[in-house]
Amino acid sequence: MTKDVIALTPKMPDTWALLAGLYAGGPGAGVSAASEGAVLRLCAPDGRPLVSVEAPLLVQVPGEAERLLGRDVPVPFWWTEARASGAVPGAERLAGSVCGRLALLLGGTTWPEPAAGTEVVDVAAGTAGGDAASGTAGTSGTSGTAGTGSADVAEGAGVAAALAPDDGQPVVDVLTDSTSVVLADRPVLALTTWLSEVLRGTSESGRALHIVTPAHVRLSAPARATLLQVPNRWVVQDPAQGYYDGLSGAVLRWRDGTFAPVPGPDGTVPVAEAFGRTSPSPDRQLVVAFRTTLPAHEDVVLGEALETAWRGLTGSAPAGWGTAEPVNLPWSTRQLTELARDRAPEPTHLLVTGHPGRPALAWIRVTRTTAGVEQDVTLTLGYGEDEAPPLEAIAPLAETLVVEHGLTTMLASVRRASRDLTTAPVLQAPPVPVAFTLGAHDVRGIGLTHARRPPVGVRPVALGPASEPALHYPLGDGSDAGALVELQRLAAHLRAGAPGAGTET
């Protein structure tokens, strides 16, 4: 199923190197550009895209190749990604030849290694060095793992795999009136620039994005957060049951141009057996989600609250930031702020990663509102079986964010999940809340007397100035799922005291 090939090179692919790579398509192939020149496409004579090649990305953050590809590549290096259409026999070999030529000219390697080639793959003529199209879209490809190409997906699900026209969107494998279907087989499905462009394109066209993978593929944390958004879906192939949703387990079938749940005889949607074949992970993740609000001043600096949280929980600053995966830029609150300012008043979505020794990822949404500049942050850190999440640091962190960074709310939780922060298509336990913090502004709106007397066992701790305190509610150590009920009761109590909620009886 693999249709992605990546060149990892110590030197920048310049114009001549890219031309040499693109000439792998032979004299019949054409070239078009999309995304303001950030994506080049090799096209068939009729204009339909065969392979999309992203602009080379300079990665300066250590550990990103290891995190996403299982490769130890010293930084800095250039990441050049090519994706072949699964609907055309030979297109995958063409992507491999494009990246193989770059690696040959510039040094470095390709992922996956068996994909590399340098021959001319004349897809339009059906020849490559005499027999270019000997590979078919239904082969397992170059991943080295058993997979299914688009032809097999089409046969098994009744999907008519066909090339989409060159309409300015990235290459997808199946396009219907309601859904864009992408076939993927890589160790970690990440929120790459290409995937971000596909999401943007499908959203603008009113379609859903369904990504189909084998069961061994895992999602990065940002990709998981994206595919949780309706109507997008992670579709997992299972030899026994066909297809199921990798995040909910619902059995799926292809019908009317999309993957949809299949109700059983009793009207409920069955859960795939493969989804439940798991045991609780010995690893844990600490998830800290918070919002801050800062005045919309010219000298405002974004990212400082996240850096404070990162230092408080790991002992060091973040390693890098970017707008997609791999995260490529060294950490800089100044550059982050400049990007958000340039994009205002539109929201800005950013990813942040840590050093290889401590798995940590965060995503930030920066929004300009009537209240000021809001930063919604979700920071996730991974811990092994013999490592303890630093729960004792949560309360001091909450107070620092209240006093120095305009904290609005913060929820800290612990869940049983992989230390490497990836998600497998199996059932996972929900996160268990550890603590909730309510900022001074909302405490004032609810009323201090009401807010400090919740119907839960633990009383809140006042943070910040005594004249206008925030409140921190300890809820446990993450080991008792009963804390979920306590959080629900707390939330209901606070909502009842909010302005416009009416009077309690």
pLDDT digits (tens, 9 = 90+) for 276-300: 888 788 999 999 999 999 998 888 9
Closest CA to 421 of 482, 359, 463: 359
What was the pLDDT predicted at 136? Answer: 30
Average pLDDT, the chain: 86
What was the pLDDT predicted at 35? Answer: 61
What was the pLDDT predicted at 170? Answer: 56
Give the global pTM: 0.87
What was the pLDDT predicted at 164? Answer: 47
Question: What would the mean pLDDT of 1-12 be, rounded to a whole number?
Answer: 85
In this structure, of 141-145, 221-225, 342-346, 432-436, the range with the lowest mean pLDDT score is: 141-145
Query: pLDDT-derived band of residue 274, with 50, 70 and 90 as boundaries?
Result: very high
Distance CA 271, CA 264 (A): 10
278 versus 336: which is more confidently predicted? 336
Distance CA 464, CA 167 (A): 55
In this structure, of 96-105, 156-165, 383-392, the range with the lowest mean pLDDT score is: 156-165
Question: What would the mean pLDDT of 310-327 be, rounded to a whole number?
Answer: 96
Whose tokens are 């795999």? That residue is 161
Q: pLDDT per residue over 55-99, tens digit each?
A: 899 999 999 999 999 999 999 999 999 988 776 778 888 899 999
Query: pLDDT-derived band of residue 425, with 50, 70 and 90 as boundaries?
Result: very high
In this structure, of 198-207, 365-374, 487-496, the range with the lowest mean pLDDT score is: 198-207
Is residue 307's pLDDT more than 80?
yes
What was the pLDDT predicted at 37? Answer: 60
